[in-house]
Structures are given as structure tokens and as C-alpha cells.
Amino acid sequence: MPDYVPNDSCDEFPFAGSFEGGTDGAQCADILPLYENGQWMIYEARTDKPVTYNEPCVRGHVALDSNESAGGKYGAFVKSQRVLDTEKYNVNIVA
């Protein structure tokens, strides 16, 4: 989606490295998150694959640098906080 996201890459949630993650990306809802007028708006990324809200995961089209940054922060968090499989934690998203 380079028309909307420079250096488009896909990132999934739950995180692939998490206990719940690693689902085949073809099963994920494909979304396009855009920050507009001070708030995040979520759009369907593919007209040929409508979001049903029953998907086991979400795959967002995001800029590569944001994808790499989030992955690095997640990895550092898991290591520094010694997060174990099935251990609960919160994810906060800020602009």
C-alpha cells in the first residue's frame, strides 16, 4: 500500500513472538491504520478480503521503520521484564 504508507510492511497482532502469535498471515484481518486529525482511524486494507471481526489476528500495513521499532521494543520488553508464555501484559498504543 505504498500510496498510503511509505515503505509499506506488514506487522501482526498478536505479536508473532508471543504465545498467541504466529498465526498464518492469510488468516489475519488486513487493516490500514492511519493517524488523521489527532486520532487513529482503521480502514480495510483489501477490498478482496473484507474484515469479518472473526479473524484470529490482525495484520496492519505500517511503515517499515515503525514496524522495526515496535518489534525491537517488544523484544526488549519481553527480555527486560522476563515475560513468560501465557503471562498477561498490556499493550498501549500512542501516536
**Tens digit of each residue's pLDDT (9 = 90 or more) over 23-60:** 888 899 999 988 899 988 999 998 899 999 999 999 98
Confidence of residue 20 (pLDDT cuts 50, 70, 90): confident
Strands laid side by side in the 8-13 sheet: 8-13, 58-63, 29-36, 39-44
State the CB neighbour count (10 A cutoff) for residue 37: 5
- Which pTM was predicted? 0.73
pLDDT value for 81: 92
List CB contacts of 76: < 8 A, sequence separation 6 or more.
Answer: none
From the number of C-beta atoms within 10 Å of its C-beta (0-12, 13-18, 19+), residue 84 rates as exposed
15 phi/psi in degrees, rounded to 5: -55, 140
